[in-house]
């Protein structure tokens, strides 16, 4: 019944149809497989009358049923609903091709921003005397926190309804609760509005860009597993003690202190437990921040998003990607003599970042819906990206290609692998799957990825050994 009410609300979404008849997106059905909008990790006290925590498996099955019911109603509309359907068809003026262009453009643009944020945060938190020496921890925490905020937020995109339906239902429920009236009927309406609101968020290119693009690229599962392996093998880079050397060298040194296998196992657990626990905490903190700041968060204007931001994103995304390619070919410091540092620090990473982000996006669309209890798309990209970062790490320490070759490989690690793999979506899935499925999925992800690095990187490190890096990064 809730799904049917949701379908009716979705059909009536653009209430001011005269102002919005050129604005509805034509979204493919497989966008329902994006796990960036998993069930909220916390309970919003304002929704107590209707709050029923559902697992990711239940949410995905219900959403697939919801889209299936919508499709059946579109094919066999009743006479009573015919005027609404006719109006809805008139409102769907943004073609599927344009919608996909906007979505891809936002993903490209936010992959740049997420990559730069990750590299910048890594630079300012990896300093001489830093208490935490695995480089990606704070970026993974920050991306998970922002993901938690987006999962619970109800205000930023409320104008996407034409009228803020969900917001109005919340206010009605509060008023009825204050008047001590029966909340059963309001509860059904509120639950239907919440379901329709969540389904609508997944259809917004800007939201997909923020959740899949920025949060996914801000965090990096492959770098997290690499840090865990290096900690286990007593090769985790540590900041140098002298700031003057820190600025001139590869920014790190490797510990030469010998230790036994027990200490190595403890170091491995330290990286894994600290990262997973802190990122899940960040997800919950972000959701609490969204609830606490709800009265103060402004809504994004509907026309601004549809008529200005969408089109601006297309120009900025493709222009910036083309600009990054030009900077990689003709870096500004190419006449300054070696070493050239522009390309090694960020430019190559920006060239490869969109490829990783788009690869993860399409893997989620086509694979996450295959097994409800095991997000196959996220698992595949995390494992594949970890294998690629291991191979790149090996080739860097052969060394291959001198300074430029080392910088290209660093760009693959920071850009392609960093954006192909994600911690924010992974911890969101862990927090929303049924407990048994979550432990199985989380353990499989970490163990399989770590085994790949042991085979790829360990076989090189423990036989031939590693040479020093030829580039500064």
Per-residue pLDDT of 252-266, as tens digits, reads 445 556 778 789 899
Average pLDDT, the chain: 78
Binned at pLDDT 50, 70 and 90, residue 227 comes out as very high
Residues 412-421 have a mean pLDDT of: 95
Which two tokens mark 246? Answer: 């820190």
Backbone angles phi, psi at 115, to 5 degrees: -65, -45
pLDDT confidence of residue 99: 86
Q: Average the pLDDT over each of 25-34, 41-50, 271-280 and give the range with the smallest value.
A: 41-50
pLDDT confidence of residue 203: 78
pLDDT confidence of residue 12: 42
Q: Average the pLDDT over each of 130-139, 161-170, 412-421 and give the range with the smallest value.
A: 161-170
CB neighbours of 289 closer than 8 A, spacing ≥ 6? 145, 148, 149
CB neighbours of 210 closer than 8 A, spacing ≥ 6? 106, 110, 146, 150
Which two tokens mark 278? Answer: 């802190």
Tell me the β-bridge partners of 14.
Answer: 162
Q: Cis bond leading into 339, ω under 30°?
A: yes
User: Are the C-beta atoms of 188 and 2 separated by less than 8 Å?
Assistant: yes
User: Are the C-beta atoms of 103 and 205 separated by less than 8 Å?
Assistant: yes
> What span, in angstroms and rounded, lies between the C-alpha atoms of 434 and 280?
15
DSSP-derived letter for residue 94 is S
User: For residue 233, which of 50, 394, 462 has the smallest C-alpha distance?
Assistant: 462
**Comparing 405 with 221, which gets the higher pLDDT?**
221
pLDDT confidence of residue 43: 59
> pLDDT digits over 373-403, tens only?
899 999 999 999 999 999 999 998 887 778 8
CB neighbours of 204 closer than 8 A, spacing ≥ 6? 25, 157, 160, 305
User: Are the C-beta atoms of 250 and 166 separated by less than 8 Å?
Assistant: no
CA torsion 405-409-410-412 (nearest 10°) is 140
**Comparing 292 with 25, which gets the higher pLDDT?**
292
> What span, in angstroms and rounded, lies between the C-alpha atoms of 113 and 210?
10
CA torsion 276-282-288-291 (nearest 10°) is -120
**Comparing 169 with 216, which gets the higher pLDDT?**
216
3-state SS class at 172: helix
> What percent of the chain clears pLDDT 90, i.e. is strictly above it?
41
Where on the phi/psi map is residue 94: left (φ > 0), alpha (ψ -120 to 50), or beta?
A: beta
> What span, in angstroms and rounded, lies between the C-alpha atoms of 198 and 48?
17
Report which listed range, 5-14, 39-48, 265-274, 293-302, is most confident: 265-274
Whether the per-residue pLDDT at 288 is higher than 90: the answer is yes
3-state SS class at 14: strand
User: Are the C-beta atoms of 225 and 453 separated by less than 8 Å?
Assistant: yes
Could you give the count of Cα atoms lying within 13 Å of 375 in the half-sphere of its Cβ?
37
> What span, in angstroms and rounded, lies between the C-alpha atoms of 290 and 295?
10
pLDDT confidence of residue 297: 87
> What span, in angstroms and rounded, lies between the C-alpha atoms of 99 and 116?
26
> pLDDT digits over 339-359, tens only?
667 777 889 999 999 999 999
Residue 81: its H or E element: none
**Comparing 182 with 302, which gets the higher pLDDT?**
302
Which two tokens mark 142? Answer: 């920050």
> What span, in angstroms and rounded, lies between the C-alpha atoms of 167 and 307?
23
User: For residue 378, which of 130, 23, 35 has the smallest C-alpha distance?
Assistant: 35
Work out the burial of residue 448: count CB atoms within 10 Å of its CB; fewer than 13 is exposed, 13-18 middle, 19 or more buried. middle
Binned at pLDDT 50, 70 and 90, residue 410 comes out as very high
pLDDT confidence of residue 62: 63
> What span, in angstroms and rounded, lies between the C-alpha atoms of 315 and 105?
8
Whether the per-residue pLDDT at 73 is higher than 90: the answer is no
Q: Average the pLDDT over each of 10-24, 66-80, 235-249 and give the range with the smallest value.
A: 10-24
Checking DSSP bridges between strand 253-254 and strand 237-238, what pairing results, if any?
Answer: antiparallel
């Amino acid at each position: 019944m809730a799904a049917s009410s949701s379908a009716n609300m979705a059909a009536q979404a653009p209430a001011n149809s005269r102002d919005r008849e050129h604005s509805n997106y034509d979204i493919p059905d497989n966008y329902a497989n994006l796990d960036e909008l998993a069930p909220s990790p916390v309970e919003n006290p304002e929704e107590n009358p209707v709050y029923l925590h559902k697992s990711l498996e239940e949410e995905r099955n219900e959403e697939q049923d919801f889209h299936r019911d919508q499709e059946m109603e579109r094919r066999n509309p009743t006479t009573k609903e015919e005027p609404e359907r006719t109006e809805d068809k008139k409102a769907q003026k943004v073609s599927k091709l344009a919608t996909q262009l906007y979505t891809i453009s936002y993903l490209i643009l936010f992959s740049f921003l997420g990559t730069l944020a990750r590299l910048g945060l890594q630079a300012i938190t990896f300093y001489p005397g830093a208490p935490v020496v695995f480089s990606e921890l704070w970026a993974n925490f920050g991306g998970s926190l922002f993901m938690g905020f987006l999962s619970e937020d109800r205000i930023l995109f409320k104008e996407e309804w034409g009228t803020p339906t969900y917001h109005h239902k919340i206010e009605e429920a509060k008023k009825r609760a204050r008047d001590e009236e029966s909340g059963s009927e309001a509860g059904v309406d509120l639950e239907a509005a919440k379901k329709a609101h969540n389904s609508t968020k997944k259809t917004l290119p800007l939201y997909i860009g923020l959740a899949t693009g920025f949060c996914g690229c801000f965090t990096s599962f492959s770098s997290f597993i690499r840090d865990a392996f290096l900690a286990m093998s007593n090769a985790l880079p540590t900041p140098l003690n002298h700031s003057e050397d820190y600025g001139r060298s590869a920014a790190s040194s490797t510990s030469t202190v010998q230790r036994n296998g027990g200490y190595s196992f403890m170091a491995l657990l330290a990286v894994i437990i600290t990262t997973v626990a802190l990122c899940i905490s960040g997800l919950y903190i972000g959701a609490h921040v969204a609830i606490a700041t709800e009265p103060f968060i402004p809504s994004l204007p509907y026309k601004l998003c549809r008529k200005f931001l969408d089109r601006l994103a297309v120009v900025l995304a493709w222009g910036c990607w083309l600009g990054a390619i030009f900077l990689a070919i003709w870096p500004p410091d190419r006449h300054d003599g070696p070493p050239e540092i522009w390309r090694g620090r960020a430019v190559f990473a920006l060239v490869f970042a969109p490829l990783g982000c788009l690869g993860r996006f399409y893997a989620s669309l086509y694979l996450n819906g295959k097994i409800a209890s095991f997000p196959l798309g996220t698992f595949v990209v995390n494992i594949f990206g970890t294998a690629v970062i291991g191979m790149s790490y090996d080739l860097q320490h052969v060394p291959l290609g001198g300074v430029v070759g080392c910088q290209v490989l660093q760009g693959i690690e920071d850009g392609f692998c960093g954006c192909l793999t994600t911690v924010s979506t992974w911890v969101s899935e862990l927090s929303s799957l049924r407990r048994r499925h979550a432990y199985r999925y989380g353990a499989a992800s970490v163990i399989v990825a770590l085994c790949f690095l042991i085979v790829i990187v360990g076989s090189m490190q423990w036989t031939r050994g590693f040479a020093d890096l030829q580039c500064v990064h």
